[in-house]
Amino acid sequence: MSDGDPKLQDLNRDRVGHEGKRLTTDQGVSVEHTDDALTAGDRGPTLIEDFHFREKLTRFDHERIPERVVHARGAGAYGTFTCTESLADVTRADFLSEAGRQTPVFVRFSTVAGSRGSADTVRDVRGFATKFYTREGNYDLVGNNMPVFFIQDGIKFPDFVHAVKPEPQNEIPQASSAHDTLWDFVSLQPETTHMIMWLMSDRALPRSYRTMQGFGVHTFRFINAEGRGTFVKFHWRPMLGTHSLVWDEVQKIAGADPDFNRRDLWEAIEAGSGPEYELGVQLVPEDREHDFDFDLLDATKIIPEEDVPLRVVGRMVLDRNPDNFFAETEQVAFHTANVVPGIDFTNDPLLQARNFSYLDTQLIRLGGPNFAQLPVNRPLAEVHHHQRDGYGQHRIDVSPVSYHPNSIAGGCPALASFDEAAFRHYTERVDGAKIRKRSESFKDHYSQATLFWNSMSDWEKQHIVDAFRFELGKVQRPHIRERVVQNLAHVDHELASQVAGGLGLPAPPAATSNHGRSSPALSQDRQPQSAATRKVAVLAADGVDAGSLRPVLDSLHRLGAVCEVLAPHGGELDGGIEVDRPMLTMASVLYDAVLVGGGAESVRSLLNNGAALRYVAEAFKHAKPVAAVGEGVELLREAPLNDVRISEDGLVVDAGVVTLASPGENGLDAFSDSLAAAISGHRHFDRRLELVPA
């Protein structure tokens, strides 16, 4: 077919390149500013007359049908929220007004960047969205597992998501930030720096949705019965502590079980060990709004807990899995503007954009305006209004009127009286010139990134450096790598130098001096410890010493650990030890710890099994607890485990490796206790790992 063929010309006539062109609207109107929405004053609310902002967000919201543009891959569960401390002094919200009051909830966890078919364990932000079915209507706390975000103004959201999505020419890489367009964007947008530090940390690799924090991100506003406002930030804290995976591990899990996190949530709930979280709030009186060295309306900033301590006010337990993934988890619709009396917004420009964007997105994704009638979205509070018809209408309205005011239906549904629990917006003076300008109080992009870096333990810092080296090592354009390293020099010179060294770049000059401040609450180094729900791979074969193994398993079971016996074959081993799974169908990365049973014949079989040696070596490399009893210690010697002491006779505990070569009744008790303590500690980064084979 020649270039002059009319059919080929028709196919290509809509191909458009942007090289050397000016940015315009859909109507061809030139645009001179696209980084800030139109607001009333530099800290005022976003104005709906900003047609460029609305067009940009609307077009972005409607880019995918029917999959969510972001947060496409998720898992959900039902549960109950219980208020444990009344907040009636600061909010009218009924579900927070009385200790002991229970409210049904639905929670959806998700990754952000990948499609529905991507893996669970990618390096990414995680969504943590909670729908409270309160007596006053539905309240949606739509959060993430990180307390800050990449951008300050929602008009930049399409740009950021387009940058982090796969490259447009080949749809590669899937669910990954390790590519040129993302790093080109963030290196040109210093406001992303704080969030990028979180993304490069282990917070982007959660072990489980059950061990993952959640944050409301924005500063919201509580309003009490007297109309007084209080700024509030929301925190979910997992009762099991906040724990993560490591990078080498998550890549292997993506192959061994791409459904790792959603499977973990489902199985834990089915086993009666569903996740539990505390709800905490940080409260700031309005007269303290400007007491900080950052702006409370800036979504790229946290309020350090050392400055405003967390007040724990509730507890949430997830205890029921959905009956149908599509009908519930996929069709659930969250919206930041779904609020109840006593909770209101601030002028955070990112929050204001979300308040527009979520509803707009649901209209196209769920096929029309009646998605709130779907069972998972339907409020428990009665619904009475004059909205009619439209796609997906399930209500059969029998009222003769559909307008207000009316006399035919006696004026019903009637308006609430002033003293009833109706929603009333917070009374706030708003004025200012119509401008596109970022507030000067939003201009510090580095001090909290430095605060985060200073708050990390040595092993957390090393993981951040390694993450930057990996991600930037995937970037093909040298000038992007160089620009990121130069930007990191504003965070910490040692960080920038280590990243540069790993990329073969010269260390950049120090841009600013490190302020030295830290917030210990940001580190994962000290977390609640428990063996409950931890998964232990128990390696055994025919001839296993059931007499020494069974008491250990019984002890771990009593603590709530999940022990699965893996053997070269299915069925049953000596001493009535049931095999849960053939060893080759699983992998060490799917477990939190590895335990090798005793018995000479069993250990000989395992020593001849490459998979068994790989389980031990890989678990050790990933800093997991490794243990062996009786002759099982021989397998650990063969692994090998670098510079770790292994029992010759009595109990030895070294860097999360627990061994007992000569078990006796009393010795088994001490071995079980030591193993439980090692498992409760999650990971043991005090061991030497660099020479352990992959």
Tell me, letter by letter, the H, E, C secondary structure of 257-307.
Answer: CCCHHHHHHHHHHHCCCCCEEEEEEEEEEHHHCCCCCCCCCCCCCCCCCCC
Query: What pLDDT digit, counting tens, does each position of 216-248 carry?
Result: 999 999 999 999 999 999 999 999 999 999 999
496 and 562 housed in the same domain? no
- The mean pLDDT of 578-593, rounded to a whole number, is 96
392 and 270 housed in the same domain? no
- Measured at the CA of 27, the angle between CA 24 and CA 28, to 5 degrees, comes to 40
pLDDT band per the 50, 70, 90 thresholds, residue 443: very high
Peptide bond preceding 413 in cis form (omega within 30 of 0): yes
| β 593-596/535-539 pair status | parallel
| Residues labelled catalytic | 71, 144
State the Cα–Cα distance between residues 74 and 197, nearest whole angstrom. Answer: 24
State the Cα–Cα distance between residues 453 and 469, nearest whole angstrom. Answer: 16
Where is 75: in which H helix or E strand?
A: strand 74-83
Does residue 691 register a pLDDT over 50? Answer: no
Q: Say if CB 45 and CB 39 are below 8 A apart.
A: yes
- 438 domain residue, yes or no: no
Q: Say if CB 39 and CB 47 are below 8 A apart.
A: yes
Does residue 63 register a pLDDT over 70? Answer: yes
- 432 domain residue, yes or no: no
pLDDT at 65: 56
Does residue 688 register a pLDDT over 90? Answer: no
- Which residue segment(s) compose the domain that 517 sits in? 452-522
- 365 domain residue, yes or no: yes
Does residue 96 register a pLDDT over 80? Answer: yes
Task: Please say whether the dihedral angle defined by the alpha carbons of residues 570, 573, 576 and 577, taken in this order, is positive or negative.
Answer: negative
Residue with tokens 């609307």: 58
pLDDT at 7: 43
191 and 237 housed in the same domain? yes
Average pLDDT, the chain: 93
pLDDT at 585: 95
Query: What pLDDT digit, counting tens, does each position of 151-190 carry?
Result: 999 999 999 999 999 999 999 999 999 999 999 999 999 9
327 and 473 housed in the same domain? no
Q: What is the DSSP letter of 141?
A: E
97 and 238 housed in the same domain? yes
Computed on alpha carbons and rounded to an integer, the radius of gyration of the chain in Å comes to 28
CATH code, domain with 667:
3.40.50.880
Among candidate residues 522, 552, 571, the one where a domain is terminated: 522
Among candidate residues 345, 373, 401, the one where a domain is terminated: 373
pLDDT at 422: 86
Query: What pLDDT digit, counting tens, does each position of 593-606 carry?
Result: 999 999 999 999 99
Does residue 536 register a pLDDT over 90? Answer: yes
589 and 456 housed in the same domain? no
- 635 domain residue, yes or no: yes
CB atoms within 10 A of CB 2: 5
pLDDT at 3: 43
Of 694, 682, 693, which is closest to residue 205 (Cα–Cα)? 682
Does residue 659 register a pLDDT over 60? Answer: yes
Number of domains in the chain: 4
Does residue 102 register a pLDDT over 50? Answer: yes
492 burial type by CB count under 10 A (0-12 exposed, 13-18 middle, 19+ buried): buried
CATH code, domain with 159:
2.40.180.10
Task: Please say whether the dihedral angle defined by the alpha carbons of residues 520, 521, 522 and 523, taken in this order, is positive or negative.
Answer: positive
508 and 587 housed in the same domain? no
Helices 493-503 and 478-488 cross at an angle (nearest 10°) of 160
513 and 612 housed in the same domain? no
pLDDT at 14: 57
456 and 556 housed in the same domain? no
Query: What pLDDT digit, counting tens, does each position of 611-654 carry?
Result: 999 999 999 999 999 999 999 999 999 988 988 999 999 999 99
650 and 596 housed in the same domain? yes
- 214 domain residue, yes or no: yes
Does residue 343 register a pLDDT over 50? Answer: yes
Among candidate residues 498, 522, 546, the one where a domain is terminated: 522
- 186 domain residue, yes or no: yes
Q: Which has the higher per-residue pLDDT, 30 or 407?
A: 407
- 180 domain residue, yes or no: yes
CATH code, domain with 479:
1.20.1370.20
Helices 180-188 and 157-164 cross at an angle (nearest 10°) of 150
Q: Detail the DSSP E strand segments found in 368-415.
A: none
State the Cα–Cα distance between residues 359 and 363, nearest whole angstrom. Answer: 6
Does residue 142 register a pLDDT over 90? Answer: yes
563 and 515 housed in the same domain? no
pLDDT at 105: 97
| β 214-215/535-539 pair status | unpaired
- 627 domain residue, yes or no: yes
Residue with tokens 């009374």: 427
- Model confidence, pTM: 0.92
pLDDT at 67: 87
Does residue 1 register a pLDDT over 60? Answer: no
10 burial type by CB count under 10 A (0-12 exposed, 13-18 middle, 19+ buried): exposed
CB atoms within 10 A of CB 78: 20
3-class secondary-structure state, position 460? helix
244 and 165 housed in the same domain? yes
